[in-house]
């Protein structure tokens, strides 16, 4: 059942990959929106997803995850299908809010449902499989979309991409409805000060998401958003090399994620965090020599090597990140913990380009040695505070009913 759900996730990511590279092109060239308006429409998708994330966590602690996930996917299907027919900005913003809200709830509900369906010992493999599904789906979707748009650059081609994207969300909802069980969450204990206040009092969880926020900014966002303009302006590598960077990164994650998860599982979690930080630091610092290479082939080869190192860092990071957040969560607050965790991930990707862009304008090299230094400090912090990072689920999590067994209805 978990494999069916992950396969549905991969298909849904495939649909999103179909539209991801061409959203602004479609709205600007074929719907006549200004580039600024198109950009605000895309920002509305992210904004809506961000705003609904905390309420979705509270909702998931009160009701079962399966119907919430189905409803969220149907909302996404409705919103993105609507994009195929918009011809005015207000219509696009309405679709962005509906679709973005669906995506935001889906992200939290999907993780919560998966955690309820598996044992604590299976969490690392499950999160690793989710990373494979995401990268495989996005990569295949973007590739297919590129061929479709290249062969027929007309309105119907883009409409077809959006409609297929909507179908993938509906298909995921159907998979969840047909084959995924409907486990109950744990009942909330009769004590005061629960909800998000309890999350805010969990110092270990706050330290975890803060460190992860920094790693998302430096290890992920700088690579995804700042490296392409840096490569174009400061190295001999051409536009083709930029595409290869992302291709190598996605391929390595798809191929290496599960083997890396198994290889690092025996290590203590603090050691895994240190290893992930080391890979990120090496990758970020490895960008700097590319400015000194006067051969396009040589610079491109070095940067592809950087993308591989960053990809391995991402694989190692995912082994410990999601499972630890789930293990720190009391069963009756699982939805809230996952929603805050997801919110910090989204925040890192939103803040990263802004910080990186400012530093890039001030000192291009400082982006990479500064990012490497920050990541190294985070790794050192985990090295010295390793005893505070739990290597096993909390007792409350271990005592929860096995996946699939009835639990009391959440209050």
CATH code, domain carrying 377: 1.20.1250.20
Residues 271 and 129 in one domain: no
Neighbours of 341 (CB within 10 A): 25
Q: What is the mean pLDDT of residues 171-186?
A: 86
- Written as six digits, the tokens of 148 are 């479709």
Q: Residue 387 has what pLDDT?
A: 60
Q: Residue 407 has what pLDDT?
A: 32
At residue 29 the predicted structure's pLDDT band, cuts being 50, 70 and 90, is confident
Task: Let me know if residue 169 belongs to a domain.
Answer: yes
Task: Let me know if residue 44 belongs to a domain.
Answer: yes
Residues 95 and 239 in one domain: no
- Written as six digits, the tokens of 202 are 């969990």
The Cα–Cα gap between 132 and 94 comes to: 32
Task: Let me know if residue 389 belongs to a domain.
Answer: yes
Q: Residue 194 has what pLDDT?
A: 66
The Cα–Cα gap between 289 and 302 comes to: 8
The Cα–Cα gap between 153 and 269 comes to: 49
Under a CB-based contact definition with an 8 Å cutoff, are residues 301 and 231 in contact? no
Residues 215 and 279 in one domain: yes
Q: Residue 389 has what pLDDT?
A: 67
Residues 119 and 231 in one domain: no
More confident residue, 111 or 77: 77
Task: Let me know if residue 187 belongs to a domain.
Answer: no
The Cα–Cα gap between 105 and 55 comes to: 9
Per the structure, the complete domain to which residue 110 belongs is given by: 2-179
SS3 229: helix
Residues 233 and 373 in one domain: yes
Q: What is the mean pLDDT of residues 311-323?
A: 85
The Cα–Cα gap between 99 and 80 comes to: 6
Residues 139 and 12 in one domain: yes
Indicate the Cα dihedral angle 55, 60, 64, 67, nearest 10°: 40
Under a CB-based contact definition with an 8 Å cutoff, are residues 235 and 299 in contact? yes
Under a CB-based contact definition with an 8 Å cutoff, are residues 82 and 133 in contact? no
At residue 411 the predicted structure's pLDDT band, cuts being 50, 70 and 90, is very low
Task: Let me know if residue 189 belongs to a domain.
Answer: no
Q: What is the mean pLDDT of residues 167-190?
A: 82
Q: What's the chain's length in residues?
A: 411
Give how many domains the chain has, as a whole number. Answer: 2
Q: What is the mean pLDDT of residues 378-393?
A: 71
At residue 281 the predicted structure's pLDDT band, cuts being 50, 70 and 90, is very high
The Cα–Cα gap between 12 and 75 comes to: 13
Q: Which of 121, 148, 179 is the last residue of a domain?
A: 179
Residues 211 and 137 in one domain: no
Residues 165 and 92 in one domain: yes
**φ and ψ of 63, to 5 deg:** -125, 170
Task: Let me know if residue 408 belongs to a domain.
Answer: no
Residues 166 and 211 in one domain: no
The Cα–Cα gap between 121 and 60 comes to: 22
Q: Residue 392 has what pLDDT?
A: 56
Q: Which of 181-190, 315-324, 385-394 has the highest mean pLDDT?
A: 315-324
Residues 156 and 253 in one domain: no
Residues 31 and 139 in one domain: yes
Task: Let me know if residue 188 belongs to a domain.
Answer: no
The three-point CA angle 168-321-314 to 5° equals: 70
pLDDT reading at 108 higher than 80? yes
Residues 167 and 31 in one domain: yes
Under a CB-based contact definition with an 8 Å cutoff, are residues 257 and 318 in contact? yes
């Amino acid at each position: 059942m978990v494999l069916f759900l992950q396969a549905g996730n991969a298909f849904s990511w495939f649909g999103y990959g179909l539209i991801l590279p061409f959203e602004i092109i479609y709205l600007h060239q074929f719907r006549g929106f200004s580039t600024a308006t198109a950009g605000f429409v895309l920002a509305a998708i992210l904004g809506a997803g961000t705003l609904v994330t905390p309420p979705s966590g509270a909702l998931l602690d009160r009701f079962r995850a399966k119907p919430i996930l189905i409803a969220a996917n149907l909302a996404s299907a409705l919103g993105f299908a609507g994009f195929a027919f918009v011809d005015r900005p207000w219509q696009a913003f309405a679709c962005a809010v509906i679709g973005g809200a669906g995506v935001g709830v889906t992200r939290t509900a999907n993780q919560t449902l998966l955690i309820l369906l598996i044992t604590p010992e299976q969490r690392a493999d499950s999160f690793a499989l989710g990373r494979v599904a995401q990268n495989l789906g996005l990569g295949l979707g973007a590739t297919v979309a590129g061929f479709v748009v290249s062969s027929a650059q007309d309105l119907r081609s883009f409409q077809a991409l959006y409609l297929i994207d909507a179908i993938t969300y509906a298909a995921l909802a159907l998979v969840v409805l047909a084959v995924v069980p409907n486990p109950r969450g744990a009942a909330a204990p009769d004590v005061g000060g629960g909800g998000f206040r309890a999350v805010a009092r969990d110092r270990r969880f706050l330290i975890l998401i803060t460190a992860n926020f920094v790693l998302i900014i430096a290890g992920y966002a700088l690579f995804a958003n700042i490296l392409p303009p840096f490569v174009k302006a400061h190295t001999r590598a051409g536009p083709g090399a930029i595409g290869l960077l992302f291709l190598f990164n996605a391929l390595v994650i798809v191929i290496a994620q599960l083997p890396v998860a198994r290889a690092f599982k025996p290590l203590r979690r603090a050691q895994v965090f240190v290893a992930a930080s080391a890979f990120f630091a090496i990758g970020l610092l490895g960008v700097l020599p590319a400015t000194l290479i006067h051969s396009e082939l040589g610079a491109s080869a070095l940067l592809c090597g950087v993308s591989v190192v960053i990809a391995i860092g991402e694989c190692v990071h995912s082994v410990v990140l999601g499972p630890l957040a789930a293990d720190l969560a009391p069963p009756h607050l699982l939805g809230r913990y996952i929603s805050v965790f997801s919110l910090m991930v989204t925040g890192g990707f939103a803040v990263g380009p802004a910080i990186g862009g400012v530093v890039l304008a001030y000192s291009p090299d400082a982006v990479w040695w500064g990012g490497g230094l920050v990541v190294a400090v985070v790794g050192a912090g985990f090295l010295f505070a390793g005893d505070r990072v739990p290597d096993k689920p909390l007792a409350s999590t271990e005592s929860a009913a096995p996946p699939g067994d009835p639990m009391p209805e959440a209050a």
